Amino acid sequence: MPAYDAAAVAALADQQVSWQDKALPPTFWGRTVADVLAGKPRLSQLPTPLMTLSAPGLRHNVDTLATWCVRHGVELAPHGKTTMAPALWAMQLDAGAWGITLANGFQLGVARAYGVQRVLIANAVVSPLQLRWIADELAADPGFEVMVWADSVRTVEIMEEARSAHVGPDARPLDVMVEVGGIGGRTGARDPETALAVGEAIAAASTLRLAGVAGYEGAIGHGVDEANLEEVRAYLRDLVAVHHRLRELYPSDVVPVVSAGGSQYFEQVAKVLASLVGEGARVVLRSGAYITHDDGLYRRVSPLGENPRTDGEQLVAAMHGWMRITSQPEPGLAIFDAGRRDFPFDQDWPEPQLIRPRSAGSPVLEASGMTVTNLNDQHGFLRFEDVPVVIGDELRVGLSHPCTAFDKWGLIPVIDDPDADDPVVTDLVRTFF
């Protein structure tokens, strides 16, 4: 069965763009995405502020991690909440992703609208409304698979109560994974005894099925020095120990899934968990931010970033911001037309990189000696020394943390070459937040 509804994804090109799409100028409003792209628009035809994606960068990153996972014997269910873009999910699934990871019921609704067939919800679902809806989806589509998490017996009781009042005895069970946490982490059972009790409760429930063990090592590690990496590995070994204690509880028809791995420590996950594949388990990474990488947080900490900790090609930054200088109120200070509502700011300020040609035939300039020092809602502050800027200049900036970049844009242009004088727009990616 196909991993998603290709026709539904293709139909995104038939949607009209409008005043609601801040990435596009009024001259494009009322036209379909396909019509806009047929004209091969240039970056110079789009307004600022703007976020773009790099077509070759996306392709490189998707292929790089897909190849890495095959080489290391693990599966990938990329975290779709990073982009909330079905077209990009399709790209990842086409490259061999085992499924898509999501965080909540709303995001699952988006996935179902585009026919995604295998979803891992990296969270507990305790809303009876959502549990009943998921039960209806499982009943309506025999090919649909979904897994949810539980870190307490109470969570299991809520799921069982909501489902048993809604489904019959022959209904497909809901697959549930025991979530293992760590002291100082986020959610997850804090000790093996609690985790085992959760697994026993799932196994004893009439409408649930024990499907595996999961956790998030990113809530445990806080750096990439050896001491932090060992802390991550210790947590992952605890995850393995819980899986081993639950083995006798797994149903005979279940291939248990053991899942961890964001975009910061996936090499550690493979190092500790990959051996479980030989014992009959399926090891699934959930990395999401890798698809665009970045020019900040993940450039520093990714195993395939600027300081690689594993084999394989390095990931590349595939998202950029574009902004225009609108004011020079003081010497050495420029104000630009982008702010917190346009670019991510939770990890690092945008990084000035290039100045687009100021006139026909002039070259792209490096934005050296420039620093973004603050962002307001709709304004940014740029300090400059080496290369003077003037009102009207358009700058490209590198961005940090994809997970807080995509949610600011409902439609994102994809360009053929972010380093070109005037890149061509090759696609428009629709997001759903």
What pLDDT score was predicted for residue 33? 98
CA dist 264 and 70 (Å) reads 18
What pLDDT score was predicted for residue 360? 76
Q: Tens digits of per-residue pLDDT, 280-310?
A: 999 999 999 999 999 999 999 999 999 999 9
What pLDDT score was predicted for residue 130? 98
CA dist 215 and 295 (Å) reads 27
Q: Tens digits of per-residue pLDDT, 316-353?
A: 999 999 999 999 999 999 999 999 999 999 999 999 99
Which residues of the chain, if any, have pLDDT below 70?
none
Same topology for domains 6-54+315-430 and 55-293, yes or no?
A: no
What pLDDT score was predicted for residue 318? 98
Backbone angles phi, psi at 398, to 5 degrees: -80, 150
Write b or e for each residue in 292-320: b if 16 or more Cβ atoms lie within 10 A of its Cβ, otherwise e.
bbbbbbbbbbbbbbeeebeebebbbbbbb
What pLDDT score was predicted for residue 68? 98
The sign one gets for the Cα dihedral 19, 25, 31, 37 is negative
Fold category of 55-293 in CATH: TIM Barrel (3.20.20)
What pLDDT score was predicted for residue 25? 98
| Domain spans of the chain, in order of start | 6-54+315-430, 55-293
Assess contact for 235 and 196: CB atoms under 8 A.
no
Q: How many CB atoms lie within 10 A of CB 325?
A: 21
352 forms beta bridges with 397
What pLDDT score was predicted for residue 358? 78
What pLDDT score was predicted for residue 263? 96
Burial class (CB in 10 A: 0-12, 13-18, 19+), 277: middle
Q: With H, G, I as helix, E, B as strand and everything else as coil, classify residue 42.
A: strand
Q: What share of the chain is helix, strand, coil (3-state, %, to 5)?
A: 35, 20, 40
Per-residue DSSP letter, 199: H
Q: Is the pTM of this model over 0.95?
A: yes
Locate all alpha helices (DSSP H) within 295-425, ordered by sequence: 297-301
Closest CA to 173 of 135, 200, 143, 199: 135
The residue type of 68 is W
Fold category of 6-54+315-430 in CATH: Lyase, Ornithine Decarboxylase; Chain A, domain 1 (2.40.37)
Rg, C-alpha atoms of the chain:
23
What pLDDT score was predicted for residue 11? 98
Distances (CA, A) of 102 to 6, 51, 207, 394: 19, 23, 22, 36
CA dist 208 and 68 (Å) reads 34
180 forms beta bridges with 189
Q: Which residue has the tokens 């899942």?
A: 259
